[in-house]
Amino acid sequence: MMSAQRNELITRTGPERPAGKLMRLYWQPAALVEELPAERAVKAIQLLGQNLVLFRDEQRRYGLVDRACPHRGADLAFGRLESGGLRCAFHGWLFDAGGKCLETPAEPEGSKLYTKVRHKAYPVRERNGILFAYLGPGEPPAFAHFDCFIAPDSYTFAFKGHVACNWLQTLEVGIDPAHASFLHRFFEDHEQAGNYGIQFRSTSADSTLPMTKIMREHPSPQIDTEYTDYGFRIITLRAIDDSRTHIRVTNLLFPNAFVIPLSPEMTVTQWQVPIDDVSCYWYAIFTSFGGPVDKETMRRHRLELYTLPDYKPRLNATNDYGFNAAEQLHKTYTGMGDDINVHDQWAVESQGPIQDRTQEHLGASDKAIAVYRRILIDAIEQAAKGKRPLMVLDEAAAERIRGPVTLDGIADGRALESYWREFDARRRKGSAWASDTPCRMRRRPGP
């Protein structure tokens, strides 16, 4: 069990909260590029509890500023894009992408008031369909050379989805290998194309065994973790028979992302980003090692389950997540359809807006969650002391952190570590873009 004070420490991310100060030391997804349409590239967003306005000016420069105009507090989300910036509709004050005040047109001729005003602004960078923002002090860190960032745009697809609970719940379900044997159990083994259900309906690498068959027949996996320079690696083993072992390698990318295999040729890197303390967005970059992705088809499949403009799920608590009792008996373990995002949504939202961890009882299958919480608390304490925590990178360190390795496959009589490394090397060698030097460093021995 966890104390109430510690649960508060690791879940609250407002500007003055210890975890909030930590999260602001990293680039955080703020919006999808597609959310700034050409006809009006202005969007109000909430990120880490702050009310902000994101925009793109005529020179295609991105700006992110506090939502309240520094003149008299009017809402800049209703501002006009013109003259190289965002103009407040109240009195016409104009701000560029860096927060510099360019004009105060209602002032007397010759007034220099505009030279004394600077609106709070934050750096923005685009990476393969996602706009990342830095809300912290000083210079932002460098981006690690993860596959999702270095892959060509045509090999990636970005999307997001709204979740009505605290960000930590959604992060912890993503690093929990045991839940897939139940929450994502299917009673049919045929492939399900078009959504996250394919992750467990297709076959594991180097085998003809459907993942869902393995998951449901082997519900008690061996879970190992290894600390790395980016967070930690999770290795989940299920013994199929005397000679074959199902091995699943996933990764926690500190502070609030994970990367998992979707198929032998595709990974998903997913960030869990606080809107405020009781809601969040997941942002995902799907990365293909094979051929270019069909972005329009992938987007169409996603929009079958999410509504615009807020990317909220069609299946949610108001309609019982699409629960069907007959389906639960014969098709899926949850009775909530084929898409595992819906399953996860139910699981984490049902824990409440902020899970009461004083009432939980962790077991051996929760090893990765316990490891993450220790790393998170350590990083919060380091940040509070003004030290540089894990993954606040300079350019040299960022260039060295590559990959990471992910896999869902069957090791047939081979050493397990050599198998997943060989698989990853083979996949990269056959890729048109992937580096053949994924991150293999370890900070210290795993717990």
Note whether residue 188 is domain-resident. Answer: yes
User: Which residue ranges in the chain fall short of pLDDT 70?
Assistant: 189-202, 414, 436-447
Out of 133, 166, 183, pick the residue that ends a domain.
Answer: 133
3-state secondary structure string, 222-275? EEEEEEECCEEEEEEEEECCCCEEEEEEEEEECCCEEEEEEECCEEEEEEEEEE
Note whether residue 446 is domain-resident. Answer: no
Q: CB neighbours of 31 closer than 8 A, spacing ≥ 6?
A: 43, 45, 54, 130, 131
| 113 and 260 share one domain | no
What confidence score (pLDDT) does residue 196 get? 57
| Number of domains, the chain | 2
| 8 A C-beta contact, residue 254 and residue 231 | yes
What confidence score (pLDDT) does residue 414 get? 66
Q: Which residue from 224, 200, 228 is spatially nearest to 212, judged by alpha carbons?
A: 200
What confidence score (pLDDT) does residue 243 get? 87
Q: pTM of this prediction?
A: 0.94
Out of 78, 111, 133, pick the residue that ends a domain.
Answer: 133
What confidence score (pLDDT) does residue 446 get? 42
Beta strands in 290-427 (DSSP E): 306-307, 312-313, 402-403, 407-412
Note whether residue 151 is domain-resident. Answer: yes
Note whether residue 14 is domain-resident. Answer: no
CATH (domain of 47): 2.102.10.10
Out of 106, 133, 160, pick the residue that ends a domain.
Answer: 133
Q: What is the pLDDT of residues 175-194, one digit of tens each?
A: 999 999 999 988 875 555 55
| Residue 288 domain boundaries | 145-429
| 93 and 230 share one domain | no
Note whether residue 435 is domain-resident. Answer: no
What confidence score (pLDDT) does residue 296 get? 96
**Is residue 196 classed exposed, middle or buried when 0-12, 13-18 and 19+ CB atoms within 10 A define those classes?**
buried
Note whether residue 7 is domain-resident. Answer: no
